[in-house]
Structure 1
Amino acid sequence: MSADHYFTAEPGAPIRRSEIEFTVAGRNYRLAVASGVFSAGRLDPGTAVLLRKATLPEAGAEGTFLDLGCGYGPIACVLASQAPRATVHAVDVNSRARELTTENAATLGLAGRIRVAAPDEVPDDVTFDEIWSNPPTHVGKAELHAILQQWMPRLAPGGVAWLVINRNLGGDSLHAWLVAGGWNVERVASQKGFRVLRVTGKSAD
């Protein structure tokens, strides 16, 4: 039995490849997936709720987006498809996930606008107009908070972050933690046990 998790940097389990299909905003997507990557058997229910309930970028949207914990790239591919003028950074600690995201971006003709990277490969001066994430709650509360403390301050002025959290894995406590940190947080949806949070910067006094 493999001890690999989807947040393992270098999965050692044999690669078992397959494909999944899903539809977002009337577009059909077929993406390559593999063992050792988060939700390889299907589009994760939390990600599905996020893509259904959050406000997707408009076709004319420009700027720089972040898919934090991209997995095999479903969120990044949807964002890049929806907003052809935007650049999407797809970040994951898992090397196999990054390889799959690179492959899927190329297959969909999005390779020029999806920049796949490990967390420490994103230049420190890059800020994001939108941050999208189905964050890895199973790493534990302290590690989850550390991840968000690293990336949320890189939200550009006027930017927005969309997060989806399982209610039973700390969705409401994360909401409270973000508010305590000075963020404006709105719960825009609650579906199938998941909270979709819209997070913006601290209001001007």
Structure 2
Amino acid sequence: MSHYFTTDQSAHDYSEISFDFQGEVYRFKTDRGVFSKERVDYGTKTLLEGVVADSPGNPSSMIDMGAGYGPVGIVLGRVLKLEPVMVEVNEDAIALLHDNVDRNRVGARILDREEYDRSDISADLYVTNPPFRAGKDTVMSIIDDSHERLGDGGAFYMVVQKKQGMKSYKSAIERKFGNVSTVLKDKGYYVLKGIK
């Protein structure tokens, strides 16, 4: 029986998907066992639209927490002309991240969570489509981490569905940052923002 953290080559089922954002087509290699294997999910699309429409100034650095196979960091890296730090815990997703950064010609620093936790990385922009299935404590720890890693004036963006506890997370962001706003709401998805 395969363990979650081991790589079983026979279990791979690679696919390539395309994603059009603002007239530019991005191509991503995906695999069995990663979130939203068949298409870039609506929450990620909504997060990207919200961040870009909100125009977070001219950030020079960005953290993409829970990067998966890379759509958030890769798209924002290109649109905002910066080199994101992309953080992921799943080994298979990390391998896909390396491939997708190369195929979309975006410079990025890719770290597993342990490397990231040992680092002193900070950023102007912190973006996440958090792993809600990992539980509320995990999502709350991401909110806490964002506040620690952002510099003064830095912006935190998170997408959440109303049914995933949006009101609770909105309150948590307000407690941590002293402010919170909804920058986009679409089909039950909310893009929440906190400014440090």
Q: TM-score if structure 1 supplies the norm length?
A: 0.85
Partner of residue 16, structure 2: 19
- Does the aligned pair in 1 maintain the 2:65–2:128 contact within 8 Å? yes
Whole-angstrom distance in 1 between the partners of 2:126 and 2:150: 7
Structure 1 residues 79-94: aligned runs within 5 Å: 79-84=76-81, 86-94=82-90
Pair 62,152 (structure 1): closer, same or farther in 2 beyond 3 Å: closer
More off after superposition, 47-56 vs 67-76: 47-56
Residue 151 of structure 1 deviates from its aligned partner by 3.4
Partner of residue 98, structure 1: 94
Partner of residue 32, structure 2: 35
Residue 186 of structure 1 deviates from its aligned partner by 0.3
Pair 88,77 (structure 1): closer, same or farther in 2 beyond 3 Å: same
Gaps of 5+ in 2: none
Query: What amino acid sits opposite 2:35 in the alignment?
Result: F
More off after superposition, 149-158 vs 10-19: 10-19
- Does the aligned pair in 2 maintain the 1:57–1:82 contact within 8 Å? no
More off after superposition, 132-141 vs 47-56: 47-56
Q: 2:149 aligns with which of 131, 139, 154?
A: 154
Structure 1 residues 1-205: aligned runs within 5 Å: 9-10=5-6, 14-55=11-52, 61=58, 63-84=60-81, 86-110=82-106, 113-122=107-116, 124-201=119-196
SS in 2 for 1:181: helix
> Which structure has the highest helix share of the two?
2
Whole-angstrom distance in 1 between the partners of 2:143 and 2:11: 31
Q: Deviations over 1:8-34 (max 9, x none)?
A: 554657010001111112211111111
Residue 162 of structure 1 deviates from its aligned partner by 1.2
Q: How many residues align?
A: 193
Whole-angstrom distance in 2 between the partners of 1:124 and 1:152: 15
Whole-angstrom distance in 2 between the partners of 1:9 and 1:148: 25
- Does the aligned pair in 1 maintain the 2:68–2:94 contact within 8 Å? yes
Whole-angstrom distance in 1 between the partners of 2:54 and 2:99: 23
Whole-angstrom distance in 2 between the partners of 1:27 and 1:45: 17
- Does the aligned pair in 1 maintain the 2:147–2:176 contact within 8 Å? no
Q: Deviations over 1:103-141 (max 9, x none)?
A: 01111222xx21111122125321111011100111111
| C-alpha RMSD of the superposition | 2.3
Pair 190,83 (structure 1): closer, same or farther in 2 beyond 3 Å: closer
Percent identical residues: 29
